[in-house]
Structure 1
């Protein structure tokens, strides 16, 4: 007989891991016990060497669906354990090194139960088991036991307690286990405070009533798993417009939810990989390509829909979805739609009778964080929603929906939140002895990052910190993570931008706790994040990082945003950039694209020519009405018009020039997204040289500079010849990709570089991303891209943390 202690680290709590251990240990005839503790799961087992080996092999092969074994350590014990059988023991509290599981979408077994009239979970909107349900959103402390979650307020009934304590049951130690008798309840309220009565509409229960309300064109605030959502019928233009006006979200696309894949496939082309992503436990919003016919809004079809709805708003929605059209206001000017499937029993029950999609967007006023408690929602959403579906299970941790897409069979996470956070990211070789580090992230699309024990714990998406409520929520979430993981950083990493609120808070924390502060350059952090998630070891040869975004604070105090950096984890050298152009009015240039057009024309010395040769162009007529003398003074004197090498602003300038979002945008990147959606793909596949706008390469002060000036002459000429917007948009994308690839060829040859990193928010542009990637791969250059963390600022904190770790490890 032999005895072993088996330590299992990873995502192994709250996922049915101990029952699996128990079942396998009994099957192998072992004696001993298993328990949760602060480091994960500890198994003590006695048996023959053969049965112990069989047990360990099967444990790795038959791991529960939501579990992830990061490390399994076997230690031989001299004496046998004093056990007569194999048992599950109580959790032990000690130093926290374990992981918290992300919230998981409803598993197939639970879905079946909520629609089974003979199940005690029939139509119960909070049904869950160890394979699914809330995790991060309800946890207050580790170990992940019921007393440390918001489920502590609900005492289990005898039937739930029996299943909870039955090691053979799917709900063994599923901490949120509950039913109609003992668990949370959901109820319907009117936003105006008037009573809701069953006679108002046909319904089975309050949750079922939501479907009827949506069919009638009402807006409903739904309390979900990690926050509130606002919902309406996505095929009802009036309802969608009403939601936009009330929420003050005028242009940004809305997320959609559909009952099943069949409904989604009526409106979008869905690949096999995209289906896998939609039905995964993470259940993110997936960006899907629209079918051509769904882009055409036919009046006859819309009128027919209204008549049918008026005739039978409360009946089962069995009408064929093909007669419906997605409302134009759902995603204005977009070729894609963001769809997700129901991921809680509440959503499944609401959509049971709904054969058409609903809008499901964050329950907030634009730029504020999602509401998470009932009173807050009543106060802030009462003038947006007509009705509320509320429940009495507290949301401890706000978790927004994740957003992802598939590009070339590779998943890309654009917003990392529900379903993914806070699952850890393993660090590359050389970072196993990393000291605890806290990285504060960026100002926009913020996340923060905790580094410890060879892994990175990235927070969920926390939004734009320039909003006071969002910054307060950021601080609350940071404190929760630090307490949950008992994380005591030995260093803090921040962005170099002096005005980022996250950087200011990082400075305060470093000063108050007397720990070192590391200021990390924005684009270096982008590149390092991509390197880290691709497993590039600590001591590796430098890569060529291409970081394109809106802007980041440069080493020289100017704003960067179109950078080619020779970089490793320790340092970087700026090899090339785009010619800096003034951002007239500073931040105003982000939301008024015409400012960038004018700045580029001035930079290219073309304005005088424009007033002589191109006076018939709409963009020139538009600009002539602006206070150009004042704008010129701002540029010449450098007053609130910082020079920026931003590729993001170049996109804005081109978009405005051809008549897209010329006057203003309601969110950053709106003009660039619209420009991408206009592209004529036939031009992309045409290799004629005349379809490439010229961009010059200059070299001075030991750095290459890409100058777009010659492009502007050609583009204005195209406008004068009335070349369609779609062709100009395609030519611009081709030209930019052509310039990038040529610069890469030049730099790789000069500096003997074998790997290229593509990063930064501009590479969310699928067309540019694919053009550059394909052309570089044809040159046999290894291209590293993002998949685990966003290419935008949502991945920045990982890069900040990993660069700081490299410096501390090597005493650089």
Structure 2
């Protein structure tokens, strides 16, 4: 210790350097630190740099600054770490906010946030210069991720760079006492972006039953009156979306409460700064019956951008009796990615929308609305995008950087940097050129804002996946990760589970290590080691991919497996393909086999007479779930032998006894829950494991996931559900990246002569 530093420690005046890491840029952290330092009589400075926020403080109260900072950070900030270094007092008369420093980026940008209360008040205040301005925002709200091209997060690095601030906005931006201090998207009618149409004209078009393409924060919505059957039917016809549910947007939580039976957890999600779509029980008439055919729940979200609030205000002035409700679905034709560009909108949406409403603030990064639900008492993702990306998943340990390219359905990509894993926004199915282009965009942008050049790539095991070819094109060592292993590894990673984990991976399809289609798997995972400890009893997959679109095929397969193919013509006497398929089985046809729980759902749906053909992925399972009232197990409905869980007795009961569809749904779900829990308990006992990770698309079934978690606890086990990433293929990239890093670190330890991480 130097003499000068020793003297400084004895003095009541101290100077400290604080390195603050986390979500601390673009959220009003510097003015917060400025005001806090001044209130405590401290001198020094605060600035943004590539690692986060750097603060130097000096004064008698310096030691208490860090704790005070942690107690009350800005609403959108999150402090992950504060590193403190003692310095020699340097004197000074004031506390200043300095310009940002460039350098290698190890901080991150915040997610987009809904309009805050203060901005909403100004939006509706005739005395405010922001009255009626559709781009009002401050450091507590507004776009972040979707307008940012690079870090540090400064206006020049965003799509606001071309808008020169007027004197009033410049004064707000430069005033540390103003909540718009260094709010990079700050603008007003005098200097900022503009909407292409008057909000009143947009409202009039919707009231008249028109379809509107409305540019928002992360892309365009297709919007229409959710109470107007004709408008919703027109949207379905033009978008070629026959029955897949539409999301509904309402003005506020009071409007939501009139249309949905909301739990406290669902209300908290709806009103959060992220404003996701939340699946809730519909409880009121008046909405179009075409919104979510065959389902009990609807996807609901609250207005989150200024233009939404103004639109609902305008609609309320037209109809003072009924609160407005709008279909607000992603603007994309035929399964293509979300439209976010003005020119692209005119080209791709002209055949769908009667009116296309744009604005002149570019969307640097497109992002769909996030979709969530409450499972087992806590939030769970169905789709993770706007409002949450690029918030990381903390892994708890450092290691090499890995990029994972995900699955071909519900694609996301994931980049691991240091202790954190960053999932991209939802990309979607990689079955067209636009989607491949979007995946390229997501990879490039994520690596850019994280300032990462990955060392390795991870991908699926399937040899024909487009996502696999993407990984192979990155010119990196590639580590393939089996699909269901990735599902389990994703859950283990987000919960930071140490030691062996029993995993149940339950979904529609995944390429197994034996070349067959897996989908109902019991795995044991321990670091870089894993094994398949069991599976569901396999069924034939007649027609291959057709079986996933035509549940009647799986119904026939289940009857054949149970030795009662003679029941097929009795169950479906008018279906011409049934007798032909039965005959093919009788002649010795041997289709590929699958252990998929998703296909078992399809078979049960068909045997119950609910749905023989699906118009969208998972429709049969979702409609079957919607029928459940009180799950109960069928006595003798399953058998467990040598790690194989066999539900043929349940399938045979549905075919022979012809229970009503509601009873069938209750029996099916109740028997699944009981059987899966006993199966896991036997496996866990044999292996000496208590931690059970539950992953795969079937874990989006709220009845199944909640019931299974409870049943596992009753067996004395510790269930873990996906919370920070979707249970479906939207979370696969996280598992691929996390598991691949375990493999890499294991190999490195072998080379170094250390013990392997088991």
Post-superposition offset of 1:7: 0.6
Alignment partner of 1:118 out of 123, 127, 142:
127
Alignment partner of 1:70 out of 80, 85, 106:
80
Instruction: Classify 1:623/1:756 alpha carbon distance in 2 versus 1 (closer, same or farther; 3 Å).
Output: farther
Q: Deviations over 1:57-96 (max 9, x none)?
A: 111111111111111100112x334643110111110011
Post-superposition offset of 1:692: 3.9
Alignment partner of 2:373 out of 372, 388, 405:
405
Contact 1:528-1:569 within 8 A present in 2 as well = no
Alignment partner of 2:493 out of 532, 542, 546:
532
Contact 1:44-1:81 within 8 A present in 2 as well = no
Post-superposition offset of 1:541: 2.4
SS across alignment from 2:505: strand
Give the TM-score of the pair, scaled to structure 2: 0.94
Corresponding residue number in structure 1 for 2:638 = 695
- Write out aligned runs for 1:650-689 (5 A): 650-662=600-612, 664-681=613-630, 684=631
Post-superposition offset of 1:758: 1.2
Match status 1:446 vs 2:414 = no
Post-superposition offset of 1:467: 2.5
Alignment partner of 1:484 out of 444, 449, 457:
449
- List gaps (5 residues or longer) in structure 1: 189-205, 295-324
Instruction: Classify 1:707/1:167 alpha carbon distance in 2 versus 1 (closer, same or farther; 3 Å).
Output: same
Match status 1:496 vs 2:439 = no
Distance in 1, Cα, partners of 2:393 & 2:381 = 13
Corresponding residue number in structure 2 for 1:808 = 744
Contact 1:447-1:460 within 8 A present in 2 as well = yes
Q: Deviations over 1:769-801 (max 9, x none)?
A: 122111111222111111111111111111111
Instruction: Classify 1:571/1:471 alpha carbon distance in 2 versus 1 (closer, same or farther; 3 Å).
Output: same
Distance in 2, Cα, partners of 1:263 & 1:692 = 44
Alignment partner of 1:562 out of 502, 520, 524:
520
SS across alignment from 1:400: coil
Q: Deviations over 1:325-378 (max 9, x none)?
A: 111110101100111001100110001134121100001113111111111111
Instruction: Classify 1:623/1:657 alpha carbon distance in 2 versus 1 (closer, same or farther; 3 Å).
Output: farther
Match status 1:799 vs 2:749 = no
Distance in 2, Cα, partners of 1:637 & 1:801 = 40
Distance in 2, Cα, partners of 1:786 & 1:138 = 29
Corresponding residue number in structure 2 for 1:298 = none
Contact 1:577-1:645 within 8 A present in 2 as well = yes
Corresponding residue number in structure 2 for 1:174 = 183
Q: Deviations over 1:255-278 (max 9, x none)?
A: 110011222112211122211111
Q: Deviations over 1:740-760 (max 9, x none)?
A: 111122112222211111111
Distance in 1, Cα, partners of 2:292 & 2:170 = 46
- List gaps (5 residues or longer) in structure 2: 1-12, 317-322, 748-755
RMSD: 1.6
Contact 2:17-2:85 within 8 A present in 1 as well = yes
Corresponding residue number in structure 1 for 2:245 = 253
Give the TM-score of the pair, scaled to structure 1: 0.88
Match status 1:466 vs 2:431 = yes
- Write out aligned runs for 1:199-598 (5 A): 206-291=198-283, 293-294=284-285, 325-352=286-313, 353-354=315-316, 355-428=323-396, 431=397, 433-509=398-474, 512=475, 515-536=476-497, 540-598=498-556
Instruction: Classify 1:624/1:379 alpha carbon distance in 2 versus 1 (closer, same or farther; 3 Å).
Output: closer
Match status 1:39 vs 2:31 = no
Corresponding residue number in structure 2 for 1:29 = 41
SS across alignment from 1:563: strand
Corresponding residue number in structure 2 for 1:724 = 660
Match status 1:184 vs 2:193 = yes
Instruction: Classify 1:178/1:532 alpha carbon distance in 2 versus 1 (closer, same or farther; 3 Å).
Output: same
SS across alignment from 2:358: strand
Instruction: Classify 1:724/1:39 alpha carbon distance in 2 versus 1 (closer, same or farther; 3 Å).
Output: same
SS across alignment from 1:329: coil
Superposed structure 1 runs of 4+ greater than 4 Å apart = 623-626, 635-638
Corresponding residue number in structure 1 for 2:646 = 707
Distance in 1, Cα, partners of 2:252 & 2:594 = 46
SS across alignment from 1:3: strand
Instruction: Classify 1:624/1:88 alpha carbon distance in 2 versus 1 (closer, same or farther; 3 Å).
Output: closer
Greater CA deviation, 345-354 or 243-252?
A: 345-354
